Amino acid sequence: MISKMILDIRFLQIFVMASLLSLGVYLYDFTLGLEQVILTFMGGLLAQLFWVKKYNLSKASFLSAGITCMGLVLLLRTNTLWLHPLIAVLAISSKFILQKNKQHIFNPTAIGLVIALTFFSSSWLSPGQWGSQILLAFWLIAIGSVLTFRAKQLDMAWYFLLFYLGGMALRNLYLGYEVEILIHAAKNGSLLLFAFFMITDPKTTPNHKYSKILFAFIIAMGSLICRYYFYFNHSYIYCLVVTSLFVPLFNKKFIAPKFQWRVYEKKSITYSY
Amino acid sequence: MKKNLLLILISLLISPSIYAFCGFYVAKGGADIFNKASQVVMVRDENRTVITMMNDFEGDYKNFAMVIPVPQVLEKSQINAGDKTNVKHLDDYTAPRLVEYHDADPCQPRIMHKFGRSGIGIQNESMLAANSMPAKKLGVKIEAEYTVGEYDIVILSAKESNGLETWLRQNKYNVPKGASKALKPYIKQKMKFFVAKVNIKEQKKAGLNFLRPLQVAFESEKFMLPIRLGMINAKGPQELFVYVLTKNGRVETSNYPNVKIPSDLDLPIFIKEEFSDFYKSMFDRQVKKEGMKAVFTEYFWDMGWCDPCAADPLSVKQLRSLGVFWLDEPNYNKRRGGIRPMPIPRGGARNVKVTRLHLRYDKKTFPQDLMFYQTKDTKNFQGRYILRHPFKFKGDGKPQCDKGKEYVKNLPARFEKEAQTLAHITDWKLKDIRKKMKLAGNSSSKKGWWKKLWE
């Protein structure tokens, strides 16, 4: 069982995110306390345990919960100790409560962040916290590619980045900005984290290739419009949450097999969450 | 004669800068701390913005001019020549500070401490060397012309950047090469240009022998500070201080990493005499460490109090003069009765917070204008450095009790740690620090005697 579990790419994903977290705390002074990290994981994993017991599900789904918690500590900032665990509980619970066709609607990290920013005035995100260290970007892209490729979701991250940066490039060209500005934007850690760890979530994105392209295009254009014309910070997270509502519609239009997390062996364990 | 154009967009400032200490033990000085530094005070709530730009221009005032992109055509009442002492005061108030403690007699424990206060003020300066068809043909429209205090102000709109550059040349502004390229994005975003120069007659009439900071108040959804224009003909990196006054939380940049300066460290006592050198060297080291790609937070606190204070908090009048427009709200005066000059306990609701940001930048490392974002972070932060004076025993200088002996025994290790901390956060060599502290590498004499060999 353990040897099978190790093969699950989500271990690697957690490892990458944990490295990013340590790097961020070490290099960029993340204004994040160890207590906050521990409490987030306690909240998230206990919520998962509660729902797993309630519906008698496979225990392996704790991996996904770990990834959600990691995403929250990487992005969410607050001065309080209670907000992180509360958001972790709400994010995990959203998977079990907000469902359509027995599949959760929202990426738990994204919905958690939107709830925090909308309803709790003590929270904020730090879009500039990652800096534009080229190595960090390279590392994110390289490892993100491996992860998403294995999860057969490489396409989603690349479609999004292509449309988002492409749109930005056209705008910059029109305004007469130098190419350095685009490069600077492409090296943004929050953007890459979003592309490789949130929008690529196979459970909350459409299944068919064409609908994936359309989905990425809508989110990319929506975020650019919200950012430049309505001066919205963190626009892609909001756009992902809103667009996620239409995933069942996409799946109805373009039919493709549903995604299942699998271990890389024939006798794979499949889990619903 | 050609007029020089000060294309600053906030910080086209090439200048020797002046610093002055405030506090009781350091003489007011005139040595340079940060070269090419400029200072901007930004007041922001929702979409209302007031920007104050310091102009300690010290050349021939005929040669002074500056161009700033603004989001709309400003009315005369939206422009003001402010009071430079307020900016100086805000700078002193938010500057890194020293705290001094005197160790208590270990043989007779009781608490005795006092703190000294010292802030570093940075003044700045600006200037730019620079170099003339009818306006309509060039696509340039003079939207408004005013005289505000000692400044003649023209607000221009332009259809295309080459036309604007030509217009500026024709009107005897020495525009640096490459200006049109930098101006283009602002024109495409339909921004206007605020061009100011000095009206010598008015300046004489007012009896001024310096330039007052220019202030502009406007509404804009964009919370940003344009710095690109200022980099066109900058030679080498530039230094910028931004003091942001807001109602709620700490302000950070959303498009560059934000880093706090090292703080709350125990340092050798001698830096009291060299605090400005220390600050400069420490900042140099931090900038190098981040590859000149980060924006440093040096201070974030409520404007109502400070602990310790590098300068008294600003008065309501001073804050209003800097543009804090919400202070006239009746609730504020009723509740607060003006800002108190002494530290008052935490926890009370204040509604002016100040974030001091400090950056060194050039075109390569900061290609984009500074975009700001107000977080909900309310945790105070200051650059604070601690000096601990060891206890001096009376008589033969030797302790009379066991605790005292233990205390004396531990002192060298403490000094060594202070020296290492200092060497770690500045460019200073450990060897020189030890020399200044008269340590002679005490702690390494017994164990690790080889450490000194290859320093």
By C-alpha distance, the chain A residue nearest B190 is A175
- The answer to whether the Cβ–Cβ distance between A128 and B373 falls below 8 Å is yes
Residue to substitute from B255, B260, B297, B425, interface A, most A β-carbons within 10 A: B255
Contact A184/B at CB under 8 A: yes
Can you say how many angstroms the Cα of residue A263 is from the centroid of all Cα atoms in its chain?
21
Q: Do A9 and A97 share a domain, yes or no? A: yes
Q: How far apart are CA B354 and CA B309, in angstroms?
A: 14
- Domain assignment of residue A101, yes or no: yes
Report CA-CA distances (Å) from B319 to B48, B52, B215: 15, 12, 13
By C-alpha distance, the chain B residue nearest A122 is B376
- Nearest CB to B254 within list A121, A122, A233: A233
Q: How far is A134 from chain B (nearest CA, A)?
A: 11
Q: Note the pLDDT of residue A230.
A: 86
Q: Do A109 and A141 share a domain, yes or no? A: no
Q: Are A200 and A148 in contact (CB under 8 A)?
A: yes
* Burial state string for B284-318 with b = 16 or more CB within 10 A and e = fewer than 16: ebbbeebebbbbbbbbbbbbbbbbbbbbebbebeb
Q: Are B362 and B300 in contact (CB under 8 A)?
A: no
Q: Note the pLDDT of residue A142.
A: 65
Q: How far apart are CA B229 and CA B168, in angstroms?
A: 15
φ, ψ for residue B44 (rounded to 5)? -145, 130
Q: Note the pLDDT of residue B216.
A: 93
- The answer to whether the Cβ–Cβ distance between A131 and B294 falls below 8 Å is yes
How many domains are contained in chain A?
A: 2
By C-alpha distance, the chain B residue nearest A126 is B254
- Nearest CB to B376 within list A121, A178, A183: A121
Q: Note the pLDDT of residue A104.
A: 87
Partners of B181 on chain A (C-beta within 8 Å) are: 176
Q: Note the pLDDT of residue A2.
A: 41
Q: How far apart are CA B356 and CA A85, in angstroms?
A: 31
- Domain assignment of residue A20, yes or no: yes
Q: Do A176 and A91 share a domain, yes or no? A: no
Nearest to A110 by CA among A94, A96, A99, A123: A94
- Domain assignment of residue A269, yes or no: no
Interfacial B residues in 186-225 facing A (CB < 8 Å): 188-189, 221-223
Q: Do A214 and A244 share a domain, yes or no? A: yes
- Nearest CB to A128 within list B184, B185, B253: B253
Per-block mean pLDDT, blocks of 10 residues, chain B (455 long): 40 26 20 61 93 75 79 92 91 89 77 42 30 71 91 90 85 74 89 87 84 90 85 76 93 89 91 88 92 92 84 88 81 44 42 93 87 89 89 82 89 91 92 82 56 65
φ, ψ for residue A19 (rounded to 5)? -65, -40
* Pairs of CB atoms within 8 A across A/B: 81
Q: Note the pLDDT of residue B215.
A: 93
- The answer to whether the Cβ–Cβ distance between A133 and B293 falls below 8 Å is yes
Contact A223/B at CB under 8 A: no
Nearest to A265 by CA among A9, A4, A3: A4
Q: Note the pLDDT of residue A99.
A: 84
The runs of H, that is alpha helices, within B171-241 are 179-188, 200-205
φ, ψ for residue B261 (rounded to 5)? -70, 155
Q: Are A144 and A157 in contact (CB under 8 A)?
A: yes
- Nearest CB to A79 within list B254, B290, B377: B377
Partners of A133 on chain B (C-beta within 8 Å) are: 291, 293
DSSP state of B77: G
Q: Are B353 and B245 in contact (CB under 8 A)?
A: yes
Q: How far is A48 from chain B (nearest CA, A)?
A: 29
Q: How far is A167 from chain B (nearest CA, A)?
A: 16
By C-alpha distance, the chain B residue nearest A130 is B257
Nearest to B26 by CA among B274, B311, B390, B309: B274
Q: Note the pLDDT of residue B12.
A: 31
- The answer to whether the Cβ–Cβ distance between B259 and A128 falls below 8 Å is no
Q: Note the pLDDT of residue A88.
A: 96
By C-alpha distance, the chain A residue nearest B374 is A124
- The answer to whether the Cβ–Cβ distance between B257 and A79 falls below 8 Å is no
Q: How far apart are CA B263 and CA B298, in angstroms?
A: 9
Q: Note the pLDDT of residue B341.
A: 42
Question: Roughly what angle, to the nearest 10 degrees, separates helices B402-425 and B275-289?
Answer: 60
Interfacial A residues in 66-95 facing B (CB < 8 Å): 77-79
Partners of A184 on chain B (C-beta within 8 Å) are: 255, 367-368
Q: Do A141 and A249 share a domain, yes or no? A: yes
- The answer to whether the Cβ–Cβ distance between A180 and B367 falls below 8 Å is yes
- Domain assignment of residue A39, yes or no: yes
DSSP state of B74: P
Partners of A127 on chain B (C-beta within 8 Å) are: 254-255, 373
Q: Residue A191: which H helix or E strand, with range?
A: helix A189-193
Q: Do A91 and A205 share a domain, yes or no? A: no
Query: What residues make up the domain containing A213?
Result: 135-253
Q: How far apart are CA A10 and CA A5, in angstroms?
A: 9
- Domain assignment of residue A9, yes or no: yes
Q: Do A76 and A142 share a domain, yes or no? A: no
Residue to substitute from B49, B232, B254, interface A, most A β-carbons within 10 A: B254
Q: How far is B254 from chain A (nearest CA, A)?
A: 4
Q: Do A164 and A245 share a domain, yes or no? A: yes
Residues 6+ apart with CB under 8 A from B349: none
Per-block mean pLDDT, blocks of 10 residues, chain A (273 long): 50 75 69 87 94 80 86 88 95 90 87 93 78 60 66 75 94 89 81 82 83 93 91 88 88 72 44 41
Q: How far is A175 from chain B (nearest CA, A)?
A: 5
Q: How far apart are CA A162 and CA A160, in angstroms?
A: 5
**ipTM of the shown complex:** 0.80
DSSP per-residue letters across B377-422:
----EE-EEEEEEPPPPSTTS--SSHHHHHHHHHHHHHHHHHHHHH
Residue to substitute from A25, A79, A183, A191, interface B, most B β-carbons within 10 A: A79
Q: How far is A120 from chain B (nearest CA, A)?
A: 10
Sign of CA dihedral B399, B400, B402, B403: negative
Q: Are B247 and B352 in contact (CB under 8 A)?
A: yes
- Domain assignment of residue A182, yes or no: yes
Contact A124/B at CB under 8 A: yes
Residue to substitute from B373, B378, B379, B380, interface A, most A β-carbons within 10 A: B373
Q: Note the pLDDT of residue A130.
A: 66
Cβ count near B183 (within 10 Å): 29
Q: Note the pLDDT of residue B229.
A: 78
Partners of A132 on chain B (C-beta within 8 Å) are: 256-257, 293
Contact A28/B at CB under 8 A: yes
- Domain assignment of residue A242, yes or no: yes
Q: Do A120 and A233 share a domain, yes or no? A: no
Residue located via tokens 């008052």 = B344
Q: Note the pLDDT of residue B144.
A: 92
By C-alpha distance, the chain A residue nearest B184 is A176
Q: Do A35 and A110 share a domain, yes or no? A: yes
Let me know the angle formed at the C-alpha of A76 by A71 and A82, rounded to the nearest 5 degrees: 110
Q: Do A114 and A207 share a domain, yes or no? A: no
Last residue of a domain, one of A55, A90, A125: A125
E strands along B165-303, which residues? 173-174, 192-198, 214-219, 224-225, 238-246, 251-253, 258-260, 265-267, 295-302
Let me know the angle formed at the C-alpha of B329 by B324 and B335, rounded to the nearest 5 degrees: 105
Residues 6+ apart with CB under 8 A from B199: B147, B150, B151, B152
- Domain assignment of residue A262, yes or no: no
Partners of A188 on chain B (C-beta within 8 Å) are: 255
Q: How far is B228 from chain A (nearest CA, A)?
A: 10
Partners of B295 on chain A (C-beta within 8 Å) are: 128
Contact A26/B at CB under 8 A: no
Q: Note the pLDDT of residue A162.
A: 92
Q: Are B40 and B52 in contact (CB under 8 A)?
A: yes
Q: Do A40 and A121 share a domain, yes or no? A: yes
